[in-house]
Amino acid sequence: AGSRRITGCDINPALVALANDYRQQRQVPGVGFVCADILAGRVVGELDPGGGFDVVTAIHLLEHLTAAETERAMRNLWALTRRRLIVAVPFEREPDIRYGHRQIFDERSLRELGRQTTADCRFFTHHGGWIVLDRPCPPYEQQREHVR
């Protein structure tokens, strides 16, 4: 088994510095944090380690974006995803501006985000809504999974 690597990103340099300081203090191997804007056109090239990430998460990110920004973010997140994208959002009646929320989601709108990809989409609720988007496995990987 190869070594695992975890890369976290945020647009806020202070939060990235805090996370890197914590990682360094705790001497956590294989983890790094970078400052990146998921909406930037070049973000996929900046973050992509050469083939994407097995799992990409966007936990309580999308509610901070406009609808147009959400579409762009989802395209970039999906482009970075080799196997699975996990998205979580709060369910609110109206955007909570105290936290910088700019839009709301419900089950229908969250499932619609999943339909905009080529993914197999599963929906869950737990303190808000979650979608898990899996890329279809190529036939040879499906066969390998059954052998294990």
pLDDT of residue 77: 95
* Three-class SS of 41-100: CCHHHHHCCCCCEEEEEEECCHHHCCHHHHHHHHHHHHHHEEEEEEEEECCCCCCCHHHC
pLDDT of residue 36: 94
In the structure encoding, which two tokens stand for residue 96, read together?
A: 């909570």
- Spatial contact of 16 and 33, defined as CB atoms under 8 Å apart: yes
Work out the end-to-end distance of the chain between its first and last CA atoms, rounded to an integer number of angstroms. Answer: 15
pLDDT of residue 38: 95
Which residues are CB-contacts of 137 (< 8 A; sequence separation ≥ 6)?
145
The alpha carbon torsion through 8, 13, 17, 19 (nearest 10 deg) reads: -30
- Spatial contact of 37 and 10, defined as CB atoms under 8 Å apart: no
Ordered per-residue pLDDT tens for the chain, 148 residues: 556 789 999 999 999 999 999 999 999 999 999 999 999 988 988 887 677 899 999 999 999 999 999 999 999 999 999 999 999 999 999 999 999 999 999 999 999 999 988 889 999 999 999 999 999 877 665 555 554 4
Q: What share of the chain is helix, strand, coil (3-state, %, to 5)?
A: 40, 25, 35
pLDDT of residue 46: 86
Q: Is the pTM of this model over 0.85?
A: yes
pLDDT of residue 142: 52
Which residues are CB-contacts of 146 (< 8 A; sequence separation ≥ 6)?
none
pLDDT of residue 97: 96
- Spatial contact of 19 and 65, defined as CB atoms under 8 Å apart: no
What 8-state DSSP symbol labels residue 135? P
The alpha carbon torsion through 18, 24, 25, 30 (nearest 10 deg) reads: 110
